[in-house]
Structure 1
């Protein structure tokens, strides 16, 4: 059993789902999950105390984690440049040595054709993009607070463009720091996929691990606060439109949707608990999936569905309501939105094929919302 379980047993025994590559799901409570639940509930309570307090926490931690990431990049670029790093030793990073011809060693099997090899590489790349997609997944959350923003027609487009540019820039520079500092094996085999920790350890020794642990906690705290602050506004808007419980549309004495925040906090805390579990038929021991990786996969899979709907809505609204004032008009319309929809759709198919046990949770959560939507809409219309 997982040595981090408290207590060391599964609360809900796993159940088998067909002939999949996993045995089922389990409800567990590890130290990681317990800390995650406590953090969610703590930040939820803080945000019920007023928007200004939530904004102060968000601004403080956003600045701190951005500075920490910039420091990591500088350490990698100035103390790195290891001649045994991936950038120097991997033929994949030196395409002039293999003419951009991928080899079977890159995917671990001998394909029937060159075309299948390319397809396999593309699919594996799609699976590997879960992390980057999650890093960018909150790009549109600022729009959830549009009703509380001054001059939203001007400030929201600027926030979206500058925020996305900053995240993409930092992400690319961080990955550059990784490949010039760490060998390919160090990136692939980083403990619990913590490549940044491996970089800091390579640059600063054991103290780098401690510094990175602090930076990760700061980043996680700030990220969670932003998601909690923005996400509750969605439930609040749904309730005002008659698509959720009426009480969720209430605001407290500090003019924040406290009930929406509490509802969201309890639901988010519950989602931390499920994990995939595999039972070894020979020994009878359990192997539990990584909580963080699983959360990423079913959150990203669900996000992609909504992004397709959201970007598709731009095209629909252009046709249905061409007279509406639009402070910002989509660059490259309609080609750019269509390209976005196609790529996001391919990611959805890829995750459904390569990670059915985790992405399936995301898809299931989204699709169960369809009948619920029609029930609420009928109820709202009747009233």
Structure 2
């Protein structure tokens, strides 16, 4: 007989590992190259990560208030429904399924395959396994789909298996990253450091050929926004822990704490990792790293030829663990939507292991289709824009709920309210606006996919009324 309720088996440590593990994927090892090309200086490289870290921690501690008020499976979807209405919540759930979660799972899966190719050249993205004319499929794409299928299967057998993988791999990658950072700072080249930090705040475009282009003031702000696409993508998925509130012990306390601790740990790692890059690699080498693999170039300097393999193994562990957290948490949103009559009915059912098995496999299918696109950067741009849009709406929801439900119990209140949440909203609004102006190619598709949810919502509501 199927279980009818989620089992609260995850403690504060497990929840913190889900936050940190879901955040750290492949981004920290790769996106520094694109950031440096956009901003051209060490100061602004670190500045971009500090701005992103501030935004992430601010959003996370703001979500702490909402998680204390509504400790239910579905997290952000529930917060939006309570703050606004079921339409806004559905648009989030729809875009979460269509772009945010499945696109991120695909991007992380593709990154896993890219670095596996260092150890097993036969799974390279440059090889063609199948040519269908309109679509070529590489061994890397097949491998990324295989890992998603494997992790979906493990998580369909109960939350305990996913928890064990998450904790083990997250601890491994945290220790490995700290080890890499310490080794890099010990092996720092004083001449490289000095050259990189001379005129550290001179903001300009650094081309692959080493030439420099100056920005107008407006273009400079646009360049910072473009640079932040990578850092925001790398810092995303911290909110995944809110989706599994039904499986966390004492969620009113532990979710808020896990959000703060997890985002703080990851922000410290990200900032120090980039400081380490500037200690061992000249800026032009960061900008021109082969296929943007900055960590590989840095590790080669620190450890010699074996450095490439060290990083490859680290990223394989990192991305595998990251995808485990994403897959585990994502299906809980579709479960809650189904319970509201706004998603396929089967998604709202738990199997005998007390997990939404059908929702997990449905998520797996769409993420696998995204993998076939094979475009890490394209997915990154589409996801970052839509994600920040809904983060802003959710944080505005705190103001709405404070006004509409002043007496509602709030075990944890948003830190720095109203100043810090307002600062986040303004920064998010600036980021999204600049992205539409300077990177429209992949921001508009993400927005359009979200808006397609409007007619789907009204169709779902119509069907629901007919059933009622």
| Length-normalised TM-score, structure 1 | 0.83
Structure with greater proportional helix content = 2
CA gap 1:184/1:109 in 2 versus in 1, 3 angstroms: closer
1:129 partner SS: helix
Q: Is the 8 A contact 2:169 2:321 kept in 1?
A: yes
- Paired position in structure 1 for 2:190: 83
Mapped pair 1:256 → 2:355: yes
CA distance in 1, matches of 2:388, 2:263: 16
Tell me the CA shift for residue 105 of structure 1.
7.3
Q: CA distance change for structure 1 residues 10 and 202 in 2, over 3 Å: closer, same or farther? A: farther
Q: 1:207–1:236: structure 2 CA closer, same or farther, 3 Å change rule?
A: same
Structure 1: state its 5+ residue gaps. Answer: 13-26, 112-116, 276-290
Distance 2:380 2:205 in 1: 28
Q: Which residue, out of 401, 409, 427, partners 1:325?
A: 409
* Residue 329 of structure 1, CA deviation: 0.9
Deviation string 1:2-40 (CA, Å, 9 cap, x unpaired) is 943333x5643xxxxxxxxxxxxxx54223222211111
Q: Deviations for 1:96-140, whole angstroms, at most 9, x for unmatched residues?
A: 8xxx565687994466xxxxx222222112111122111211111
Aligned residue in 1 for 2:433:
349
> Which residue, 120, 127, 138 being the options, matches 1:4?
127
Question: Corresponding residue for 1:296?
Answer: 380
Q: Note if contact 2:226-2:438 (Cα within 8 Å) is conserved in structure 1.
A: yes
CA gap 1:233/1:104 in 2 versus in 1, 3 angstroms: closer
Among 119, 141, 146, which residue is 1:38 paired with?
146
| 1:28–1:274 contact (8 Å) kept in structure 2 | no
* Partner of residue 23, structure 1: none
Partner of 1:236: 335
Matching residue within 432, 435, 454 for 1:370 = 454
The CA RMSD measured in Å over matched residues stands at: 2.1
Pick aligned residue for 1:274 from 359, 373, 398: 373
| Residue 121 (str. 1) matches residue 214 (str. 2) | no
SS at match of 2:137: coil
Aligned residues: 340
- For the 8 Å contact 1:84–1:182, the answer to whether it is kept is no
Tell me, in whole angstroms, the C-alpha distance in 2 between the residues paired with 1:334 and 1:199. Answer: 41
Q: TM-score, normalised by structure 2?
A: 0.69
Unaligned runs of 5+ in 2: 1-124
Please say which structure displays the higher CA radius of gyration: 1
Partner of residue 211, structure 1? 310
1:94 to 170, 173, 198: 198
* Cα distance in 1 between the residues matched to 2:303 and 2:141: 30
- Shift in alpha-carbon separation, 1:103–1:38, aligned structure 2, 3 A: closer
SS at match of 2:341: coil
